[in-house]
Amino acid sequence: MSRTTFTVRLLGATATLMLAAACGTSTATTPSSGSTPAKSASGDALGVATTSLGPVLVNSKGFTVYMLTADSPGHSTCSSMCLQYWPPVPGPAGTSSAKGIGAALATTKATNGASMVTAAGWPLYTFVKDQAPGDVTGEGVKSFGGTWHAVTPAGAAAMAPATKAPATSSPASSGNGY
């Protein structure tokens, strides 16, 4: 047998073994119990944490998870530029709910083709400017065609409470006030 034939056969055998190993690996998750977050095959997880907005979904590192109002259930509109600031929460082939998460978790594709997790159909992202677990600096940011909101365990937008204008005792003026 020539050296070339041996090399081709060796590479073919290696490729076959790698394919067989990949086919035998399950990417589905098993239902979680207790307070364990929902884990994906890549080791990512979703859980619930209390922030200044109340309870929100967080990733395995405790960082707040966001949704974009320009998206629609099952469909991400976040462009490649957008994904640089708002990385998608990576998703496995199947996702299960953890205790405290009422929203159905599933997956969809990001605009770059990567699998990402959805909650109640909404694609999920993190924000690069959140520096520590519990940060919610992305809440209310208007960019990339919509508004970003932290996500509640029910899969809805966790909007910051509206602030009231301070009451004044002076009479209203007819000017612009600027």
pLDDT confidence bin for 100, thresholds 50/70/90: confident
pLDDT attached to residue 162? 62
- Other Cβ atoms within 10 Å of 111 Cβ, number: 16
Over residues 18-28, the pLDDT tens digits come to 333 333 322 22
Strands 66-68 and 146-150: antiparallel
Taking only the tens place, the pLDDT of each residue in 104-152 is: 999 999 999 999 999 999 999 999 999 999 999 999 999 999 999 999 9
Is residue 77 predicted with pLDDT exceeding 70? yes
37, two tokens: 């977050």
Give the pLDDT band of residue 153 (cuts 50, 70, 90).
very high
The whole-angstrom separation of Cα 71 and Cα 79 is: 11
Q: Dihedral, CA atoms, 63, 147, 76, 135, nearest 10 degrees?
A: 0
What percent of the chain has a predicted confidence (pLDDT) above 90? Answer: 54
Cβ count near 74 (within 10 Å): 13
What average pLDDT does this structure show over 170-176?
A: 41
Per the model's pLDDT, the better-predicted residue between 90 and 172 turns out to be: 90
In whole angstroms, what is the distance from residue 65 CA to residue 123 CA? 10
In this prediction, residue 1 has a pLDDT band, given cuts at 50, 70 and 90, of: low
The pTM score is 0.67
Please state the φ and ψ torsions of residue 106, each to the nearest 5 degrees: -150, -165
**178 or 63: whose pLDDT is higher?**
63
Residue 69 has pLDDT above 80, yes or no: yes
Alpha-carbon torsion (112, 74, 104, 54), positive or negative: positive
